[in-house]
């Protein structure tokens, strides 16, 4: 069953990898046709994430042929299938979806993607919540799962005031796992403490490194999650006990990781990368569907995302500017039905 589909769609595409809002252009283009094991999703809601900002600057791990619509996740309804049992099963269903590493992303009225990159949404979940299901909630779940399997009694995380950092905090509180939460402003520290965090450190404090080392030793925090990169990676790894693991899952500083080789050579510490797509790829389709159901049940509480502003797709440039200036205030959503609540 294929639903009624127009021949053209609107898409917000970029012309250059310079990260500038001026590179965004809303255009009319042909609706893609799904191939075998692929589906076509009529998009409803799309969040802007830090990974999108990296992509717009050409700094993400994937570069696509330009011009291209950016965007890695969103929600919508599957309106066509190119075949395959999963694709046929999804037709007519509302889904959270992730873009492929080639072709247009989610900043468009229609997305062609692999059926395996879609998660059916429950009736209890609206399009807005579903749009933010994959990138942050699944990453938070995955990182806390890794922490649990590591045997470390505590963990340390940077960029702890981000939407993802707050999810990790809430999960850790629910599971009773102590965390050391690193932020860069006093107001962010106050926010996390209001959410229940006990150990919050401001990296701008002159004695930050000494405080971090003392807490890592006291709590025996031998696993960490790093989203900043640059010199922060080395500062955190150096403060952790011998034999620790630090997983780098972001690069907010847009710099390479700076690490003292002595920590790796003489202290037996490990620096690793984490990429959600690879983590999910090691799980079967049934495992992924089961995980999707588990995460959906927690989106209203532990894995919730706050929304600060909503813009129609035609105002993608303005939406990007707003998000760049207010990243820690919540998500900015692109609305495909043209309704918006501008700040």
pLDDT bin (cut points 50, 70, 90) of residue 285 is confident
**pLDDT(180) > 90:** yes
Domain boundaries, the chain: 8-132+305-335, 151-277
CB of 98 within 8 A of CB of 134?
A: yes
Residue 156, helix vs strand vs coil: strand
CA distance 315 to 301: 30
- Whole-number pLDDT of residue 3: 62
pLDDT tens-digit readout, 19-63: 999 999 999 999 999 999 999 999 999 999 999 999 999 999 899
The mean pLDDT value for 101-109 works out to: 97
Q: Fold for domain 151-277?
A: Rossmann fold (3.40.50)
The mean pLDDT value for 266-291 works out to: 92
pLDDT bin (cut points 50, 70, 90) of residue 329 is confident
**pLDDT(125) > 70:** yes
CA distance 221 to 241: 7
What mean pLDDT is reported for the chain?
94
pLDDT bin (cut points 50, 70, 90) of residue 95 is very high
Residue 211, helix vs strand vs coil: helix
Beta partners for residue 111, in sequence order = 41
**pLDDT(235) > 80:** yes
CB of 313 within 8 A of CB of 107?
A: yes
The mean pLDDT value for 67-72 works out to: 97
* Domain 8-132+305-335 identical in fold to domain 151-277: no
| 8-132+305-335 placed in CATH 3.30.465.10 | no
pLDDT bin (cut points 50, 70, 90) of residue 2 is low
Bond before 193 cis per omega within 30 degrees = no
The mean pLDDT value for 212-224 works out to: 98
**pLDDT(99) > 80:** yes
pLDDT tens-digit readout, 247-274: 999 999 999 999 999 999 999 999 999 9
pLDDT tens-digit readout, 184-212: 999 999 999 999 999 999 999 999 999 99
CA distance 264 to 329: 36
Residue 73, helix vs strand vs coil: strand
- Whole-number pLDDT of residue 338: 61
The beta-strand segments (E) located in 158-242 are: 179-183, 199-202, 221-226
Between residues 289 and 175, the one the model is more confident about:
175
CA distance 258 to 239: 14
């Amino acid at each position: 069953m294929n639903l009624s589909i127009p021949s053209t769609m609107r898409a917000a595409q970029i012309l250059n990898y310079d990260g500038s809002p001026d590179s965004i252009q809303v255009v009319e283009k042909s609706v893609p046709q799904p191939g075998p094991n692929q589906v076509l999703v009529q998009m409803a809601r799309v969040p802007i994430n830090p990974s999108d900002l990296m992509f717009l600057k050409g700094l993400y791990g994937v570069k696509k042929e330009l011009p291209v619509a950016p965007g890695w996740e969103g929600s919508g309804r599957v309106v066509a299938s190119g075949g395959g049992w999963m694709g046929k099963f999804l037709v007519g269903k509302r889904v959270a979806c992730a873009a492929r590493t080639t072709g247009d992303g989610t900043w468009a009225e229609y997305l062609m993607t692999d059926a395996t990159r879609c998660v059916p949404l429950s009736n209890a979940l609206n399009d807005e919540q579903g749009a933010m299901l994959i990138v942050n909630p699944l990453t938070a779940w995955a990182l806390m799962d890794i922490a649990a399997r590591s045997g470390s009694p505590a963990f340390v995380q940077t960029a702890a005031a981000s939407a993802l950092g707050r999810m990790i905090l809430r999960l850790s509180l629910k599971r009773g796992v102590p965390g050391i939460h690193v932020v860069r402003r006093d107001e962010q520290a106050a926010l996390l403490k209001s959410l229940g965090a006990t150990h919050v450190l401001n990296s701008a404090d002159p004695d930050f490194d000494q405080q971090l080392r003392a807490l890592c030793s006291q709590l025996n925090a031998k696993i960490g999650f790093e989203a900043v990169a640059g010199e922060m990676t080395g500062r955190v790894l150096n403060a952790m006990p011998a034999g620790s693991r630090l997983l780098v899952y972001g690069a907010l500083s847009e710099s390479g990781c700076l690490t003292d080789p002595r920590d790796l050579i003489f202290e037996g510490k490990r620096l690793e990368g984490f990429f959600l797509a690879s983590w999910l790829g090691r799980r079967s389709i049934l495992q992924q569907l089961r995980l999707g159901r588990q995460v959906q049940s927690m989106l209203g509480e532990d894995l919730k995302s706050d929304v600060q502003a909503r813009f129609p797709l035609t105002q993608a440039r303005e939406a990007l500017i707003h998000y760049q200036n207010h990243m820690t205030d919540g998500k900015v959503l692109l609305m495909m039905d043209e309704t918006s609540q501008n700040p």
